[in-house]
Chain A
């Protein structure tokens, strides 16, 4: 059961990281980027179209992660503590903090992407999207390392 949930959590996270990265790059790419360049192509995608999917994937990934966390606490954390993986525990603590802070930001993020972008909205879109992108990337990488930790660096 835990393995199935973890795989689903990972799959949701992969979809989420793809969507948020596309949106963040599309939002941050300067308007004068060459249309056929790597970043120019990101700029051309309709970034607003990702917003609902990102909210849904974030919630799904968070919910699955919250369930898997119960198994982690009982079965995995004691082993990590026994093996003195303190840094990994610290990074994982940050993952859970960042994810929850991102969760709180989600309604504001969704609202910003709803309407047409004026000056203030565009700035907010950029800030909140980059914040969520950082959170997702951090969580993805830390989760991946935690998943593989008994082989990683040992």
Chain B
């Protein structure tokens, strides 16, 4: 793998990862759901309240963070591999993307977290 391909891959991966993570978080696109109390991992997004009374939700807390991370990683891997094939003239654009997308994703995450501060 040439240095140019590695550069394109790493830059595109960083930018796409941030973008896909926000999309996964926004749309609930978790590759899997973890139930730490039961030690269960289920493919896709599952909510305890879909299977049990909502007041018993605390008995089976679900975790999406691992699933969101995995979803973003898979998406970013695909984008990174495609970007590795791009010619050198895209280098500046990809460098721009990796500098802009992650901070923007962080701002988007702040926005998504606002409900906690309204309680």
Whether chains A and B associate is yes
Partner among B21, B92, B113, B119 whose Cβ is within 8 Å of the Cβ of A94: B113
Total number of B residues with any Cβ neighbor in A under 8 Å: 43
For B7, list chain A residues within 8 Å (CB): 111
What is the CB-to-nearest-CB distance from A97 to chain B, in angstroms, rounded to a whole number?
Answer: 4
Bound complex: CA A96 to CA B106 (Å) = 11
CB <8 Å contact, A86 and B95: no
- Cβ contact within 8 Å between A111 and B10: yes
Residue from the set A70, A100, A115, A120 with the largest chain B CB neighbour count within 10 Å: A100
Whole-angstrom distance between the Cβ of A30 and the nearest chain B Cβ: 20
A70 touches B117 (CB 8 A): no
Count A/B pairs, Cβ under 8 Å.
Answer: 103
B30 within 8 Å of A by Cβ? no
With a cutoff of 8 Å between Cβ atoms, the chain A residues found around residue B114 in the complex are 90
Select which of A97, A103, A127 is within 8 A of B113 by beta carbon: A97
For window 51-70 of B, CB contacts with A under 8 Å fall at 58, 61, 63, 65-66, 68-69
B102, CB-defined interface residue at 8 Å = yes
In the bound complex, how far is the Cα of B58 from the Cα of A78, in angstroms? 7
Taking the closest CB of chain A, its distance from the CB of B90, in whole angstroms, is 13
Shortest distance between the CB of B52 and any CB in chain A (Å): 16
Q: Taking CB as reference atom, which chain A residue is nearest B24? A: A100
Q: How would residues 130 to 142 of chain A score, 1 for a CB under 8 Å from any chain B CB and 0 otherwise?
A: 0100000000000
A90, closest chain B residue (CB): B116
Which residues on A sit within 8 Å (CB–CB) of B58? 78, 81
The complex places the Cα of A110 from the Cα of B68 at a distance, in Å, of: 23
Q: In the complex, are the beta carbons of B99 and A127 less than 8 A apart?
A: yes
Residues of the B chain whose Cβ atoms lie less than 8 Å from the Cβ of A74: 36-37, 61
Known: A100-B69, A120-B92. A87 touches B117 (CB 8 A): yes
